[in-house]
Amino acid sequence: MKMTIETKNDIIELLDNNIIEVLNDNNRLSSGKVIRRVSSTKNQQGQFAGFDNDGGLILINVIDMSSSDFTAEAGIIRPAKDDTLYCCTTSFSKNKKSAEAMEVLAAWPLYKKNPELHLPMETFFRSSFSPEYILYLKKNDMLDTVFIPLQQKLKIGRYVEVINWDNIRKEKFHEHLKALKPGEHITYIALIPQTTSYAPKFYSIGTKPHEVTHYSLRSEGFNFKPTHGGHIKADKNEKGIVYYVDAGSNFIGKGIKTKLETAESISKALKREYKDYIFIPLEGRGAFGTEQSY
C-alpha cells in the first residue's frame, strides 16, 4: 500500500497549520501525546503511553487513518526505516480550544442518544486527537475519521450490536488467559466487590503497564472503577497449565508488600468467573513473566 495523494495532502495541510510536527527524537515524547506513523504500508494513529523494554512505542486506541477504522485498544509501534513519525503539537490539557472541540462531540446525535457512554466517548475523543485536529476535521468535513472508529469501538450507530457489556468484558479477558503460554504473563486490573452478590470484573490489554491498562479501560463500554491490579503468569506442572496470580501492582496496590491473602481473594474471584482454570495465589509481585512487567 503506497501512501495516497490524499494522505500526502492531509499531512502537508496538518503540518502547515501546525497541528502536527515531525517527531525526530523519541526521547522528547511524553505520555499522552498523540502519535501518527506514516509509511508505504502503515498509516496509524494513537495516544503514546510509554516505551516497552525494546524501545517500542506503546499506543492506546489505535486507528488506521487510511480507512478510518478502529484497529486495537493498545499496540506497540516499532518504527522501520521508511516510517515517518508525527505528533500533535497540542493536547486537550490546558488548551483554550478544548471546549470548542468537545462541543463537536456534544453535538453528535449518538452522543446525545447514549448518555451512559459519555465517559468512554469523551476519553476516546481526547486520547485520539488534539482539539485543533478535531476542529480541522470539522472544517474539512472529515469527522468520520473520529466518529467511525468511535462507533466501531463502542458498537453503536451503524455498527450497533445487541450488547451485553459484561459478557464482552468477560470474554476479552478469557481470550488473554487462553493465549498465555508457560512462562508468559499478563497485567490485569480488577474490581473485587465486598459482597458475593456482585460478580468480580477483570480487564487486561496484555503486558501493558497498569496505568495504561486503566486508561484504556476508561474508553471501554464496560468501564469500571478497579480496586486491585497485578499479574497472572502461566506455568506447567503435573496438573497441566496453571496460572499464578499476584495482586502486586504499584499503581493499584502495594507492590512487593502485597499480602498473600489479597492474592488469595483475587484467585477466588478468578475461579468464580473462569471455573476451568487453576489459579495459584502468590504474595508480592510473584507472578512476573518473561516479558516486561509493572
- Three-class SS of residue 102? helix
Distance separating alpha carbons of residues 187 and 204, to the nearest angstrom: 6
60, 88, 116 - which closes a domain: 88
Residue 179 and residue 119 share a domain: no
Same domain, 259 and 179: yes
3-state secondary structure (DSSP) of residue 84: strand
Q: Are residues 186 and 250 in the same domain?
A: yes
pLDDT tens sequence across 79-132: 888 899 999 999 998 889 999 999 999 999 999 999 999 999 999 999 999 999
CA pair distance 46, 74, nearest whole angstrom: 8
My answer on whether 190 and 246 are in the same domain is yes
Q: Which of 7-11, 12-16, 99-103, 161-165 has the lowest mean pLDDT?
A: 161-165
Tell me: do 137 and 220 sit in the same domain.
no
Cα 290 from Cα 197, distance rounded (Å): 36
Domain count along the chain = 3
For residues 127 and 229, state if they share a domain: no
- 118 touches 223 (CB < 8 A): no
In a domain, 276, yes or no: yes
In a domain, 289, yes or no: no
Which residues constitute the domain of residue 253?
165-281
Q: Are residues 128 and 206 in the same domain?
A: no
| Rounded Cα distance, 191 and 251, in Å | 14
pLDDT tens-digit profile of 254-285? 999 999 999 999 999 999 999 999 999 999 99
Query: How far is residue 94's CA from residue 44's CA, in Å, rounded to a whole number?
Result: 26
Beta-bridge partner residues of 233: 185, 244
Specify whether 11 is located in the same domain as 78: yes
Q: Do 25 and 73 sit in the same domain of this protein?
A: yes
Same domain, 155 and 169: no
Phi, psi angle pair for 211, to nearest 5°: -65, -40
Cell of 49: 503511553
* Cα–Cα distance measured from residue 156 to residue 277, given in angstroms and rounded to the nearest whole number: 33
Q: Are residues 53 and 68 in the same domain?
A: yes
Quick one: cell of 136?
480541522
Q: Are 105 and 88 in contact (CB under 8 A)?
A: no
pLDDT higher than 60, residue 221: yes
Strands (E), 198-288: 201-203, 228-237, 240-246, 279-281
Q: 132 and 37, same structural domain?
A: no
Residue 232: Cβ within 10 Å count? 26
Return phi, psi of residue 188, to 5°: -140, 160
Cell of 281: 495465589
Cell of 219: 474508553
C-alpha cell at 188: 490485569
pTM above 0.75, yes or no: no
Taking only the tens place, the pLDDT of each residue in 24-39 is 887 778 888 999 999 8
Q: Could you tell me the pLDDT band of residue 290, with boundaries at 50, 70 and 90?
A: very low
Residues near 198 by beta carbon (within 8 Å), at least 6 away in sequence: none
Classify residue 93: in a domain, yes or no: no
| 293: in domain | no
Residue that is last in its domain, among 88, 106, 125: 88
